Chains A and B, each alone.
Chain A
């Protein structure tokens, strides 16, 4: 009898799991397989042909502009991650430890609001603020500074990335730190830890998992973002997403774009995997 019972539960569970499994197969696993296959296709006379050639891989890997773009993307996404984590921390710290429960709830609600509006719209609004005759330069003009070129620079790209990631990072950091057992902070103070030192000695170690998850999110979003480097960075140094666009446009090189996309996916998988491993790493017990 117990066998029958467990089968019944399996069917029940499967029924609920099925939609998400079908969805994932159709719209994730399928396209990925197709993309991998496509990276071996050939393009002749601007038309894609089914084939199994390594030429796209060897061509892309031998091009300096590919590697330049790759390292540039990793670098600027990393800078964006570090900036977001550092800039968000004081705000998250204040929300987690200084704000009342109610204020914290309001703050998190307000931080979700930016996601209601299109990221593209938010990006375009930076034009008004950052352009040569924009708000920032006008204000700086009053104290005799500038004008500074902020659009079409790395600075512009980073502003765009942070527009995307900062609210999320603040939310994740706040929630993580708000859940810390306060007694541990008091215990550290009781044992002689200065108020500011508790951040390094207790708060960061205790919220390590949440902080790493926030950083992973930030890196993934920045690394794969097309909008910020294209509109605010002026794609002067192309990031990998821009390289994909350029490759598909120039001579219909979809297979080579697939190569770039696969490299991006492998990179993000590795970053996420290493990050999660670090986040959940336990000290080896002897």
Chain B
């Protein structure tokens, strides 16, 4: 890995008594697509705003290319931001919006126009260059906002939930546009979102934030398969979280006793003591269904409560007799074999490798 472009060192941000961001440490590498994800109020936008210089860290330091950025004013930075509201200037035309940043940098008129047109062309909105912003559709505005930032040829592009106002089908299309742009330009994207699907679909690495802290940093797969703690597991969703106490330990794994039964879990790095409280997760898509008792090590007898279709995927919501909720995710065509109805009896099972132990917190 190359040396980091941006480093957050114990960066904390207070608004009065409220701690928006709690002493975070984070490295952002050159050319990566980093998503910062978390529920609203988790400090993700504040983190992004500090990177743009719109907020100054209360304590700690932010480095960019080894330089301390804390006191550098927003207009002296090269950190264009794509806003959630897009923040296009309504009194300027499309091309004037795109030229704005170049004009501020004192680039002459013909050069400005040339570069702006180049980007309008690249983002497929050249036909609208003389139009008023208010006459554009949501998707077109999105592209203008991107062009306005990218025309500055920055090393790093900041994006604050830019797709949240778009229709679902446009979101998918813009995701593809963003990923392609990022690969092509090779610049760093820092993408703030509350949407897991956006973050997982696009990012090389995902930062999960909660209550002003970083809960986990990792690839989408890491975060999905091995959430480090309960917060991440719950936030990522579609996880079965079971809590109990350590019943016995072997050199390969542990047996954990819960209200739903005793289950075996493989140990990776976690150190456990017998009798200690422990939680583990099983991703909903790693749980198997069977009509009869599978006689496997990790199995639970459940009743079907409800199901939810999302395209070809189905999520089943089930409950065992201790009222523990389970979720199972599978292909719709696989499910049809089982012929399930509400209140149907069914067995769930999973392998010990699929169960992932959470950090005690």
Measuring CB to CB, which residues of chain A are less than 8 angstroms from any residue of chain B?
Answer: 181, 183-184, 186-195, 197, 201-202, 205-206, 208, 282-283, 285-286
Contact = CB atoms under 8 A, between A and B. Distances in A.
9 closest Cβ pairs, A-B complex: A192-B104, A187-B87, A191-B101, A205-B91, A189-B74, A183-B87, A286-B130, A192-B75, A190-B81
B117 interface: no
Interface in B48-88: 52, 54, 73-75, 79-81, 83, 85, 87
Given A283-B93, A283-B132, A285-B132, A193 B75 contact: yes
A201 B83 CA distance: 19
B144 to A, nearest CB: 12
Contacts of A187: 81, 83, 87, 89
Given A183-B85, A282-B132, 18 more contacts: A181-B87, A186-B74, A189-B54, A189-B75, A190-B74, A191-B75, A191-B80, A191-B104, A191-B148, A193-B100, A193-B104, A194-B75, A201-B104, A205-B89, A283-B93, A283-B132, A286-B130, A286-B131
Contacts of A208: 91
A201 B85 CA distance: 19
Contacts of B101: 191-192
Interface in B106-160: 130-132, 135, 148-149, 152
B291 interface: no
Contact of A184 (B89, B130, B131): B89
A278 to B, nearest CB: 13
A263 to B, nearest CB: 35
Contacts of A192: 75, 101, 104-105, 152
Given A190-B54, A283-B132, A285-B135, A206 B91 contact: yes
B330 to A, nearest CB: 43
A45 B10 CA distance: 94
B87 to A, nearest CB: 4
Contacts of A283: 93, 132
5 contacts: A183-B83, A183-B87, A186-B87, A191-B149, A192-B105
A190 B80 contact: yes
B157 to A, nearest CB: 11
Contact of B54 (A186, A202, A206, A285): A186
Nearest to A286: B130
Please indicate which of the listed interface residues A190, A205, A285 has the most CB atoms of chain B within 10 Å of its own CB: A190
Please indicate which of the listed interface residues A192, A195, A201 has the most CB atoms of chain B within 10 Å of its own CB: A192
Contacts of A183: 83, 85, 87
Nearest to B49: A186
Interface string B29-42: 00000000000000
